[in-house]
Amino acid sequence: MSAICRARLTGVGGYLPRQVITNAELAQKVDTSDEWIKTRTGIEQRHIASEDETTASMAALAAQRALEQAGVSSKEIDAVIVATSTPDKVFPAVAVQVQALLGMEKGFGFDVSAACSGFIFALATANSLIQSGSAKKILVIGSEVFSRLLDWNDRTTCVLFGDGAGAVLLESGAEDGQGVLSTHLHSDGRTGDLLYVDGGVGCAGTTQQLKMVGREVFRHAVVKLSQAVDEALESNHLTGEDVKWLVPHQANLRIIEGMAKKLSLPSDRVVVTVDRHANTSAASIPLALNEAVQDGRVQKNDLVLMEALGGGLTWGSALIRM
């Protein structure tokens, strides 16, 4: 029996829109305050896409930076998978637009829709494609313009989100014990009405704005993310002490701190960007990973645990040996 072709992470990149909106600036538009937002979420500011910045353009810029770090040409890429809930068009997929923007002449691309868990779902899909031998080099991207889905008069949601894109390059050829060790995916459609955006093409008379039952989402996140973390560790016969870095979905600082406590990880081994980026949905994990790699915190051979929960509800985790 031939050995499994393991996927390794060889490049990371990120892009954040030029425009920054602080809590104080938001407080001039809606009934909120810097203290109210920071106390409940940890968020201090968010990046908001300008008219000339799109999900596809940001995704391509993040992907190009990941390719540059890896020293790989876009012409070598076999596939592009984009996790997004905010595509620029119904079709073609954002991934196909990224192919064009990167000058790719071969391969294939498609989008994954799993809300804030999208990057974990896309990573798992890419890993499976590499393991099956269907592709050797895959760009996995999370890109979102949630600012275009928000009701800017609703202080319970508009303060939470921001825009941005993050990307990683997965390649075949990881040595045993390295690369993507495992991924774990879950969803429960019965809880879909807790966090959603209406206004799909198949449904008439809707508003295309984000709706959220915040308290219930928080409650589910604490339980389900804890289970996903346990699942990842147990399947690899590891404990929280083995984890070098927690790179979580950046939605709420209290949830992030809760997961770190569960793993007995000190704060300096948890990558936190929610204060500066807010919740960038599927882009949040690769953006956080990119920052930690670029500033030298995350090093080769470090064990990185990722976890996320999003609308659906969807949730999952991934373990990667860098």
CA distance 248 to 287: 11
DSSP 233-276: HHHTT--GGG-SEEEE--S-HHHHHHHHHHHT--GGGB---HHH
Determine which one of 249, 252, 277, 290 is catalytic.
249
Whether residue 279 lies in the annotated active site: yes
Distance of CA 112 to the CA centre of its chain: 11
Distance of CA 99 to the CA centre of its chain: 20
CA distance 274 to 248: 10
Nearest CA to 5 out of 154, 120, 174 is that of 174
Determine which one of 116, 184, 252, 290 is catalytic.
116
Q: Are strands 245-248 and 303-310 parallel, antiparallel or unpaired?
A: parallel
3-state secondary structure (DSSP) of residue 311: coil
Catalytic residue numbers read 116, 249, 279
